[in-house]
Chain A
């Protein structure tokens, strides 16, 4: 169990009510008419000859979470870097609260917090010093910096480690401090680039809790992930990208309707009759993995479907090694949407299923 009991109200102030009046007003000034915190139109970016983004469009409404879901090299980080004013797009437009990320980069910078894949911390400074330094660079007053630092260290369970150099921190602690640093100036919009990649399950859950509380306090979040489960858990809307193009978009439920909410997975005992098994189990959204001798289909009839499939296999004389239900993975999403798997995520998917 994770007992990350964070005080919601402390995380941010973009919510409703009297609390955030001062910059609530500022927010309204900067708002795009439609209440979109992030607008991306026809974004194009190439590195040398490699086209990384090939016309990306999406919007993120204020106070909501959008997940960019895709494998390595899909263009997720490039998108985040353009929105975070770190890269210039070759074409297209990106607006943060109505401000152009290219033309008004400096005004955009005071509205955003960016947490990258690799913790952007100073190794030789302590946790407290990192927070103080970035707080001052965000141009907060010394009093606010001290107060926010104290609050954030408590929220992120880093008080004990606060006076130690960051180079002594574990991976999970670094990620937490990294996010804390991004939040020091309570930016209304946060970019999280694969916030849980490489984290152990406990740290991952802590991260999820923090993100959920940020959202409930009114912060707009754009997060990237390779994990369908993570997108499902955290995001209001999911944009699936591959090879710099959007291949699907919708709420988690809408996507699940397309790919099935749960999958029935059958592992066949012998490789010799695997091809025959494929013909027998010819159901909706059949995905096969011949290396592991597994077949998976979208669940619909529950126990009835299970009985049916097993008896069909039995009649055909095919021995079944194991049967399980599991949630769809990024691979399933890709198989359904594009007809092929994501090469990069194969190993991880396998490990998750076996683990």
Chain B
């Protein structure tokens, strides 16, 4: 028999502030989503292989035919591939959120006294972990295929700082998409419908000068281009112009807007 005294602590919940519990709930669910990365071999594979495939494809198949002026194509390409991988990686937030919503587990979470944003925060944070792995793989591979950065320590800090902020921004947008789609299949393609045009109609792989006027206007002013131009500038010394602060502003702005929208959508979707 258990001693009765051991029961007096039963169900005694810890006393902390609401803010503490919001962080704690988010942390608990982040650990869950991060574990998924290592438990789900398909995800792990695509995280590692996808960036390498794209990189090698552009470097060796398309690269020879693309004129990037006075810098080598591999030096031009790294920033584009790097940002594209971060954007593609965010699709996991859309997917995993849609999967959670379809399965019974979302009812479990909803019947718990937890912060409503915690589940989304968990997926977004796991995305960040996945993207850091992808990003390091891209940078690693780039050195193997002839990448020669001129970045100093401050530049590298700026590159990673912006990469993290950008990853968070695009994941929060992906979370909104995950909450809007009606099926897991839809989650798969919605991400690409939004992210494909954004990454290709940009300065990621080709200089924007050759695009038709309307497309070029979009390509030169959309947030991904600013992020790419800024990172490229810090890495290989191309002119940055206003892209540096514009990239930070865009990402911060997106996070400020998308976070409450996603949380509100989650609440609305889960209460009928």
Contact = CB atoms under 8 A, between A and B. Distances in A.
B158 to A, nearest CB: 36
Interface string B1-23: 11010111111111000000100
Given A86-B270, A133-B32, A140 B107 contact: no
In this complex, which of B10, B107, B110 has the most chain A Cβ atoms within 10 angstroms of its Cβ?
Answer: B10
A119 B109 contact: no
Interface stretch (A120-128, A206-214, A251-259): A120-128
A: interface residue count bin? 35 or more
Contacts of A85: 110-111
Given A87-B271, A88-B271, A120-B108, A140 B13 contact: yes
A233 interface: no
A186 interface: yes
A155 B101 CA distance: 30
B4 A17 contact: yes
A236 B270 CA distance: 33
B104 A87 contact: no
Contacts of A140: 11-14
A121 B28 contact: no
A161 B106 CA distance: 24
A84 interface: yes
B: interface residue count bin? 35 or more
A187 B113 CA distance: 12
B19 to A, nearest CB: 14
Contact of B24 (A107, A119, A129, A136): A136
A137 B14 CA distance: 11
Contact of B14 (A125, A139, A187): A139
B105 interface: yes
Contacts of A7: 1-2
Interface stretch (A19-27, A279-287, A301-309): A19-27
Given A116-B107, A117-B104, 10 more contacts: A19-B8, A23-B11, A107-B113, A109-B111, A112-B111, A116-B108, A133-B32, A137-B29, A139-B21, A140-B11
14 contacts: A13-B10, A13-B11, A84-B111, A85-B111, A120-B104, A120-B108, A124-B39, A133-B31, A137-B118, A138-B113, A140-B14, A141-B13, A144-B9, A144-B11
Interface of B: 1-2, 4, 6-14, 21, 24-25, 28-29, 31-32, 35-36, 39-40, 103-114, 118, 270-272
